Amino acid sequence: MKKIIVTGALGQIGSELTVKLRDIYGEDNVLATDIRKPEDICGPFELLDVTDAKKMYELSKDFEADTMIHMAALLSATAEKNPLFAWNLNMGGLMNALEVSRELDLQFFTPSSIGAFGPSTPKDNTPQDTLQRPTTMYGVNKVAGELLCDYYFNRFGVDTRGVRFPGLISYATPPGGGTTDYAVDIYYKAVEQGRYTSYIAEGTYMDMMYMPDALQAIVNLMEADGSKLKHRNAFNISAMSFEPSQIAAEIKKHIPSFKMDYTVDPVRQAIADSWPNAIDSSAAVEEWGFKADFDLEKMTIDMLEKLKVKLNQKAIS
Ligand SMILES: NC(=O)c1ccc[n+]([C@@H]2O[C@H](COP(=O)([O-])OP(=O)(O)OC[C@H]3O[C@@H](n4cnc5c(N)ncnc54)[C@H](O)[C@@H]3O)[C@@H](O)[C@H]2O)c1
């Protein structure tokens, strides 16, 4: 990775990833792109709608990119509201990004998700290679995307790589409409209001990861020796699995008056119920040394500290 173009660079992952990549590879070597303009422009930025194949090709060529990191997508809960739009953006954008990578010989990364699993997938210690019959449009897109990335490697030799991210938790940029967003929102509401109403029911376990571990995983996988990768795309990776009352209990250790109740959203609950409780990351550990530094306890301390500063407010205690 020396000259990197990032799509969807203003999103929850892209916004922090761009900063990290610029720290490592140099500000001028990372071109951030998105369909909307950033509030403050720092570093190279271009407007790019990923459904515009011609512009994607031209920007990549002019920048002399050797790597494409494709982040633009519609996430699970939003995709369920507009499935046709989701198909066109998620599949059309990915096909364009893969084609540009083939034409310009770019190394390629795009994330899949735990949403690529479905109700018939084994729920606990979900294997790397297992049944994938998702019941959401997002899941259908992600499975098709995993297969397409494998296809572009096998058929054309494009150096495609990817992970299945769990729910990602961060304080910098708000999440973009996923099912696991409650695990970000709960920290904001804890600091701002001292209480939270969860739309996910008690007892619903899902995999999660703190953003610094997710960003490091992308860099490590892209820098890994390709000859050691048996699975190139869609590596299961997870740092923790918890259900809403566990994250609430962790927050209570720091904000004793914190209270949580539940008003379950049937749409997002149904999506969560179709996903695994906890996935097995051992293929990623064996093939490229995946590791996560943050567990629920360590992440909670960091999130609350950072959010208190960000929201310029003392925690209710
Ligand atoms: N955040 C998570 O918890 C999570 C978990 C698993 C997988 N993922 C995957 O990671 C990737 C990035 O997710 P995210 O959380 O940063 O998403 P996000 O919704 O926060 O950001 C997506 C970005 O894409 C941009 N975008 C939308 N339509 C576009 C278009 N037509 N052209 C160009 N840009 C467009 C948006 O403006 C936004 O900045 C997605 O593929 C997502 O499925 C995310």
Ligand 1: atom nearest CA of 142 is: 43
The span from the CA of 111 to the CA of 255, in Å, is 34
pLDDT digits (tens, 9 = 90+) for 43-76: 999 999 999 999 999 999 999 999 999 999 999 8
Question: Which backbone phi and psi does 198 adopt, to 5 degrees?
Answer: -85, 135
Tell me if 204 is assigned to some domain: yes
My answer on whether 106 and 189 are in the same domain is no
My answer on whether 123 and 186 are in the same domain is no
The answer to whether 304 and 251 have CB atoms below 8 angstroms apart is: yes
Please, what is the average pLDDT of the chain? 96
* Residue span of the structural domain in which 59 resides: 4-166+211-236
Give me the residues paired with residue 241 across strands.
Answer: 207
The whole-number pLDDT of residue 315 equals 46
Whether the full predicted model's pTM is greater than 0.85, yes or no, is: yes
My answer on whether 230 and 270 are in the same domain is no
The span from the CA of 81 to the CA of 208, in Å, is 23
My answer on whether 155 and 93 are in the same domain is yes
210 is catalytic: no
My answer on whether 71 and 200 are in the same domain is no
Tell me if 289 is assigned to some domain: no
CATH number at residue 225: 3.40.50.720
My answer on whether 14 and 160 are in the same domain is yes
pLDDT digits (tens, 9 = 90+) for 92-124: 999 999 999 999 999 999 999 999 999 999 999
pLDDT digits (tens, 9 = 90+) for 240-272: 999 999 999 999 999 999 999 999 999 999 999
My answer on whether 139 and 200 are in the same domain is no
25, 138, 187, 199: the active-site residue: 138
Per-residue tokens: 265: 């959203």
Structurally, the chain folds into a number of domains equal to 2
What's the 3-state SS for the chain? CCCEEEECCCCHHHHHHHHHHHHHHCHHHEEEEECCCCCCCCCCEEECCCCCHHHHHHHHHHCCCCEEEECCCCCHHHHHHCHHHHHHHHHHHHHHHHHHHHHHCCEEECCEEHHHCCCCCCCEEECCCCCCCCCCHHHHHHHHHHHHHHHHHHHHCCCEECEEECEEECCCCCCCCCHHHHHHHHHHHHHHCCEEEECCCCCCCEEEEEHHHHHHHHHHHHHCCHHHCCCCCCEECCCEEECHHHHHHHHHCCCCCCEEEECCCHHHHHHHHCCCCEECCHHHHHHHCCCCCCCHHHHHHHHHHHHHHHCCCCCCC
My answer on whether 96 and 222 are in the same domain is yes
CA of 111 to the centre of ligand 1 (A): 10
My answer on whether 31 and 12 are in the same domain is yes
Q: Which of 12, 69, 169, 238 to mutate to test the pocket of ligand 1 (most atoms within 8 A of CB)?
A: 12
My answer on whether 30 and 142 are in the same domain is yes
